[in-house]
Amino acid sequence: MASVISIVDGKRSQIIELAPMEQICLQITTITPDSRQRIEAIEK
């Protein structure tokens, strides 16, 4: 049982890398709604 828990906990603690589209969406949500930078990011 302890070995199973250590495997599960190890997987939980790893940093999950976001997919490229998820990264772009996260960046867009942090930019102010009416900024030129946001418009350019959405057009990307």
Report the pLDDT value the prediction gives residue 39, as an integer from 0 to 100: 79
Who contacts 27 (Cβ-Cβ below 8 Å, separation ≥6)?
41
Is residue 15 a contact partner of residue 1, using CB atoms and an 8 Å limit?
no
Report the pLDDT value the prediction gives residue 11, as an integer from 0 to 100: 54
Report the pLDDT value the prediction gives residue 5, as an integer from 0 to 100: 54
| Closest to 29 (Cα-Cα) out of 16, 21, 4 | 21
Low-confidence ranges of the chain (pLDDT < 70): 1-15
CA 20 to mean position of chain CA atoms: 9
